[in-house]
Structure 1
Amino acid sequence: MAYKTILVHLDEAPHVGARVLMAAELALQHDAHVVGVALTGVSRFLYQNEMVDEQDANLARHLDVLRERAARALGGFAPQLRALGVQSFEERVLDDEPGAGLALVARHADLAIVGQALPEQRGSAASFPAEVLTESGCAVLVVPHTARPRASISVSAAGIASQGAPTPGRDVLVAWNASKEAARAVREALPLLRGAEKVTVAILDADLHPALFGNEPGADVLAWLGRHGIAAQVVLASSPRQGLLKRPSQVGESLLALATERGCDLMVLGAFGHSRFRETLLGGVTRTVLDSMTVPVLMAH
């Protein structure tokens, strides 16, 4: 398995260059096609329900402004990919809301790359990766807003990326809770895990769920990965526990701290949430990780 179609969300955020760079490196590693998508923010349902009259002069001017903004977001995409040696790519401007529009295109991709919301955008913007996840069926790689454009790729003096350059994910932390979401995330991450120098499977609070993890927590995961040629190690940890029943808390914070402590450059996480209710798109652990992440996070739902 390899990533053959990689989708990258393009906007005017300061860290968009890091997303493109990550897409470029993965494309070189996997001989993949890259699709860059910028969205105007005008829902396609307005057109379908004939609620938009493009003959209206005021509306036409507003749409022109939105489409110009989307076109600006595409501005550096093609030149950057060409300079890095990526041969197969395309760019699109779509009239749609970001989450819904990107999810629609991502249904025909192996991996979607999006950006973490900026601190001042926490709230509605933070649900964007979750909406793409829940509505597309595609794995999503979230790039932190602190990522620098040249932090994740090896580029020669001539500006050409080496196909042997280290991909994001040389040292990977897999958050494993034995859920179907976690299993899906591991399957989607296999192309990255195979190229990793080190893979750590983090299991938190295994003692509270003996039926899930068995007598030797993580043994089945290690065997599964081993059959794919991936050597991994298990780390057992406990998150802080509160209340009379000593329920675990701050699981997201514990995972982030473990990733920092071990110097990991990628986290693999199964995302919890329900697409019917926007306010519950993100589970607590997922929301914490997306808000506070400082390394890329590959998520699946």
Structure 2
Amino acid sequence: MSYKTILVHVDESIRAGERIKLAAAVAMTEKAHLIGTAMTGASRYLVQARMLTELDPNLRTHLDFLRQRARRGLEDFDVTARKLGLDSFEKRLVDDEAGAGICLQARYADLVVIGQNDPNEISPVVMPDFAQYVVLNCARPVLLVPHTGRFDNIGNQVLIAWDASMEAARAVTSALPLLQRAQQVDVVIFNARASGSPGMPPGTEIVHYLRRHEIRAELLQRRADGPVGEAVCALASDTGADLIIMGGYGHARFRELVLGEVTRTLLASATIPVLMSH
């Protein structure tokens, strides 16, 4: 298994360059095709119905402005991809709201790379709940890049937050290409309870599963007296992890997002990249 198509969200944010470089690094390692997609932020329904261009000249001017902003982000993507020597890449400008547009594009990718919300940088295009929305709705694994720090590469030291859930299982399976290249993989279970086959300690079966994929993993059992999300972040720091893999929990009701505690904490506070699958 390997990633053949990687989609990265492109915009004019300060951290877009770091996100693009990380996506490009994964694409180069996997020999994958990289797609840089910039969204204008204009609803595709209104654009397709020509409501933004025919009813009001001012709206037409505003749409042109949004497209110019998106093109500038794509120009930076193009420069970075060429500088790094990527063999296969393309850029796309899409008239759509950022979250919905990325989720549609993600259907034709193996991995989606997006940025963590930066509360100090307000975007006219990207909603504050963008990352949460994409994780819950894109139907693909999502690699979240923090809004601080440098990440030239990932996956040497990996921490898997395991709870035997469907979401966690999907995340681990989605991350196999990265895990197979890792030097060290730790599987942590917080506040372990009996799960899996009778008579087997919690976490044993996922370690055996990984070994069948030629991935050697060490099982860690920890107790979290406080929020588990904070415990995951602390352990990642203690072990020197450069990537966290976990399930993404929650559901969407219209635009309202209801997230699990660990998912909410990692989306907002992670200081290293996190691969999530819902």
TM-score for both structures, normalised by structure 1: 0.86
**In structure 1, how many angstroms separate the alpha carbons of the residues matched to 2:128 and 2:259?**
9
**Aligned letter for 1:198?**
Q
Compute the displacement of 1:54 (Å). Answer: 3.3
**Aligned letter for 1:129?**
A
Compute the displacement of 1:12 (Å). Answer: 1.3
**In structure 2, how many angstroms separate the alpha carbons of the residues matched to 1:279 and 1:87?**
40
The DSSP-based 3-state class of the residue aligned with 2:214 is coil
Aligned to 1:133: 135
User: Is 1:204 aligned with 2:190?
Assistant: yes
**In structure 2, how many angstroms separate the alpha carbons of the residues matched to 1:281 and 1:121?**
24
Aligned to 2:214: 229
Compute the displacement of 1:13 (Å). Answer: 1.4
Runs of 5+ unmatched residues, structure 2: none
**In structure 2, how many angstroms separate the alpha carbons of the residues matched to 1:92 and 1:288?**
31
Aligned to 2:252: 275
**In structure 1, how many angstroms separate the alpha carbons of the residues matched to 2:66 and 2:136?**
26
Runs of 5+ unmatched residues, structure 1: 153-166, 241-248
Compute the displacement of 1:276 (Å). Answer: 2.5
The DSSP-based 3-state class of the residue aligned with 2:202 is coil
**Aligned letter for 1:168?**
I
**Aligned letter for 1:228?**
H
TM-score for both structures, normalised by structure 2: 0.93
Compute the displacement of 1:11 (Å). Answer: 0.9
Matched pairs, number? 274
Compute the displacement of 1:281 (Å). Answer: 4.1
**Aligned letter for 1:252?**
G
User: Is 1:89 aligned with 2:89?
Assistant: yes
Check the 8 A contact 1:6/1:112 in 2, yes or no: yes
**Aligned letter for 1:273?**
G
**In structure 2, how many angstroms separate the alpha carbons of the residues matched to 1:50 and 1:68?**
18
Distance 1:189 1:10, change over 3 A: same
Aligned with residue 188 of structure 1, among 167, 170, 174: 174
The 10-residue stretch of structure 1 (50-59 or 22-31) with the greater mean CA deviation from structure 2: 50-59
**In structure 2, how many angstroms separate the alpha carbons of the residues matched to 1:227 and 1:121?**
44
The DSSP-based 3-state class of the residue aligned with 1:2 is coil
**In structure 1, how many angstroms separate the alpha carbons of the residues matched to 2:103 and 2:4?**
17
Check the 8 A contact 1:15/1:147 in 2, yes or no: no
